[in-house]
Chain A
Amino acid sequence: DAKTTQPTSMDCAEGRAANLPCNHSTISGNEYVYWYRQIHSQGPQYIIHGLKNNETNEMASLIITEDRKSSTLILPHATLRDTAVYYCIVRVGYKLSFGAGTTVTVRA
């Protein structure tokens, strides 16, 4: 299974962009990168996913390096409600394997 490495935690200022890195150096050519977040005591929320092209939706942008060995999730204007654990996942088949994620704290 392709595994991901994320920082344990990070802080960011409200209103600023939050850039969340993820390394997935063993990813295979047909494996997608997914990002979810989990606010305390809730189920995970889907954010975005991509294969090799950069992706953007109403929540975030996903930048994937050309060699696909790493990616960055960008929350363009972080709010206090974005405080959560963010999971970067390489999907293998139909399964999602959740790691420890990055605990993001947005501070006023």
Chain B
Amino acid sequence: GAVVSQHPSRVICKSGTSVKIECRSLDFQATTMFWYRQFPKQSLMLMATSNEGSKATYEQGVEKDKFLINHASLTLSTLTVTSAHPEDSSFYICSASPAQGRTDTQYFGPGTRLTVL
């Protein structure tokens, strides 16, 4: 149980284009989903927290107009990297907390590797 998927698993795009990453909780409903970024040889950094039906809360230093987050349902959150540049190349990972049961635990997706050329 508590499976989280991400799509795509890896994406390569040209500089200046936008990329959308999907995060789905497959066997549970998630009122809260989180987006992290991980650069090579570094740890995960929280980018933003999204609650279903409301605006995301961004961590300090994360541009909300560049990283658009939509959490339209209890099982889906999307992260859109707008006007991507090579410095946005990273491993993007989402997590979700169940609405019932282990509401205090985050379950992570497998990650999406973004490469911007």
List residues of chain A with CB under 8 Å of any chain B CB.
Answer: 32, 34, 36, 38, 41-46, 49, 87, 91, 94-101
- CB <8 Å contact, B93 and A43: yes
Query: Is B12 close to A, CB under 8 A?
Result: no
Which residues from B are CB-within-8-Å of A45? 108
Contact assessment for B110 and A94 in the assembled complex, using a CB-CB cutoff below 8 Å: no
Taking a contact as CB atoms closer than 8 A, the residue among A34, A44, A46, A94 that contacts B44 in the complex is: A44
Contacts of B105 in A (CB 8 A): 34, 46, 49
CA A91 to CA B77, docked complex, whole Å:
22
Q: In the complex, how many angstroms separate the beta carbon of A51 from the nearest chain B beta carbon?
A: 10
B43 within 8 A of A: yes
Decide: B49 and A97 in contact? CB cutoff 8 A.
no
Known contacts A42-B111, A43-B108, A43-B109; A98/B97 CB under 8 A: no
- In the complex, chain B residues 95-117 whose Cβ is within 8 Å of any chain A Cβ: 95, 97, 104-111, 113
Known: A41-B91, A45-B108. 11 other contacts (CB 8 A): A36-B108, A42-B110, A43-B108, A44-B108, A87-B43, A94-B97, A94-B104, A95-B46, A98-B44, A98-B45, A101-B43
A46 touches B107 (CB 8 A): yes
Q: What are 10 inter-chain pairs, A to B, with CB distance below 8 A?
A: A41-B113, A44-B44, A46-B107, A49-B104, A49-B105, A87-B43, A94-B104, A96-B46, A98-B44, A99-B43
Q: Contacts of A36 on B, CB cut-off 8 Å?
A: 108
Main secondary structure on chain B at its contact with chain A?
A: strand
List residues 62-117 of chain B with CB under 8 A from any CB of chain A: 91, 93, 95, 97, 104-111, 113
Q: Are B106 and A46 in contact (CB under 8 A)?
A: yes
**CB-nearest residue of chain B relative to A99?**
B43
Asked whether B32 is an interface residue with its Cβ less than 8 Å from the other chain, the reply is: yes
What's the Cα separation between A101 and B44 when bound, in Å?
11
